[in-house]
Structure 1
Amino acid sequence: MPELNEVKVILFDLDGTLIDSVPQLYMAVQSALDVNQLSSVSLEQVREWIGNGADVLLKRAMSRQYHFNDIDEALFQKVKTDFNNHYHAGIDKNYSLYPAVPETLSALAKAGYTMAVVTNKPDEFVQPLLKSAGIAQFFAYTLGGGRLSQKKPDPMPLYYVCEQFSVKPTETLMVGDSKNDIQAAKAAGIPVVGLSYGYNHGEPIENSQPDWVLHRFDELTALLNAEIRN
């Protein structure tokens, strides 16, 4: 088990970790499908399809299955434009913070941790959503999908943020709800917490073997305090 007493920077996933955005994403996806006269999808389907970025989510929705085949590129670009328009318009609606997120982030900030968001959500949506949720002030840096050539589960985004803070992987902790977070952290040599309540393509987060499994967000402070005391 890795030690956490060296941790200076905590990296958080966004959707399914800090914010329950399924209703918000579902409405934008369904609106884009409707405009383009494509078959409807369910909220639960969207929940299982989240985690690999908006492009993959839309392609799964267009094909109505997790593993999709070739998608007509012209139609996809139109669906993507419509999705972006709907999502921008509703960025301040139909989402909720998970229990104890603001209080826990505040406690971690007071304890001296630097925090950042590393998400596959398109970069242009990250700051607006954090600001709408009232938690943007806790994060010294945010990195969304599309800024780099690779997304999680590739370790590139995690390495990149470590470089921004001049910290080693062992001085960093990743907190996420998806196997993409776990795989990226393990590949980067970063200790990782898996949260059981988020979105993980219908699979238990334990299957991805994070270093720790937590069931509530506020358990993070107790974990870090215990490791520091030890």
Structure 2
Amino acid sequence: MSIRTILFDLDETLIDTNELIISSFEHTLQHFRPNEFKREDILQFIGPPLADTFKQVAPDKIDDMIEVYRAHNLEHHDELVTPFDGVVDTIKQLKEEGYQLGIVTTKIKSTAIRGLEVTGLAPYFNVIIGLDDVTNAKPDPEPVNKGMAAFGAKPEETMMIGDNHHDILSGQNAGTKTAGVAWTIKGRETLEKLNPTYMLDHISDLRKILRK
């Protein structure tokens, strides 16, 4: 059965938010745990929900850390967020070809929408599943299941695409095809170990895969 519904993670999959995320973590960690974390230490924090990350750092200050992180993130958001090479053209083409396109992210929905608007991608996505739309975040299948339900899609007709382990696992747990993106800051080998259905070296590879 052919793929008709494509669900994407947002950060580091469609839009480059590396510097925004890293700088927001640096700002927050320096505030609460001064001089304890280097830039390379922060890479492990990219992807999971903020509450899960800050629980490891200061379990008694999770809400305070999230507040500081989000304030810094929003303040610098528009200047640091850009689409990855070829993303806008590829997404536009997929939409014109009739594919159902959705976002499944661990960001809160309003921030995800802002990222889509800043990068010119908002017109192509009418389904956005954010952290505040689910009880259980990725790698639980709930976010992907909600994305499919919004389209009335079946797992065998759906692909979940992302840059992090929890994106691939969430799709696998929901029974969809999966694709990892080789431009992940964590290195393509981290995703290859999870055996996604496909690996994308460039976003345009997606159309080649779908044509097959």
TM-score by length of 2: 0.91
| TM-superposition CA deviations, 1:203-225 (whole Å, max 9, x none) | 53110000111211111011111
Residue 46 (structure 2) pairs with residue 50 (structure 1)? yes
Mapped partners of 1:37, 1:206: distance in 2: 34
Residue 140 (structure 2) pairs with residue 154 (structure 1)? yes
Mapped partners of 1:42, 1:23: distance in 2: 14
| TM-superposition CA deviations, 1:30-83 (whole Å, max 9, x none) | 2223333533533333233211122233345xx3xxxxxxx342x332222111
Match of 1:67 in 2: none
Instruction: State the aligned residue count.
Output: 212
Aligned in 2, Cα 1:213/1:84: closer, same or farther, shift over 3 Å? same
Match of 2:18 in 1: 22
Mapped partners of 1:209, 1:86: distance in 2: 36
Cα distance, 1:84 vs structure 2: 1.4
Mapped partners of 2:139, 2:12: distance in 1: 16
Match of 1:119 in 2: 105
Provide structure 1 residue ranges, at least 5 long, that are not aligned to the other structure. 64-70
Match of 1:145 in 2: 131
Match of 1:34 in 2: 30
Larger Rg: 1
Paired residue secondary structure (2:71)? helix
Counterpart among 86, 89, 92 of residue 103 in structure 1 = 89
Cα distance, 1:141 vs structure 2: 0.9
Counterpart among 4, 10, 20 of residue 8 in structure 1 = 4
Counterpart among 79, 84, 100 of residue 93 in structure 1 = 79
Mapped partners of 2:86, 2:186: distance in 1: 21
Partner letter of residue 109 of structure 1? K
Paired residue secondary structure (1:116)? strand
Match of 1:175 in 2: 161
Counterpart among 163, 176, 179 of residue 190 in structure 1 = 176
Mapped partners of 1:153, 1:200: distance in 2: 17
Mapped partners of 1:204, 1:22: distance in 2: 17
Root-mean-square deviation (CA, aligned residues, Å) is 1.9
Match of 1:217 in 2: 203
Mapped partners of 2:33, 2:49: distance in 1: 23
**% same residue:** 25
Cα distance, 1:199 vs structure 2: 4.0
> Do the aligned residues in 1 keep the contact of 2:129 with 2:146 (CA within 8 Å)?
no
Match of 2:194 in 1: 208
| TM-superposition CA deviations, 1:177-222 (whole Å, max 9, x none) | 2221111111111111111211448853110000111211111011
Structure whose residues are more often helix by fraction: 2
Paired residue secondary structure (2:206)? helix
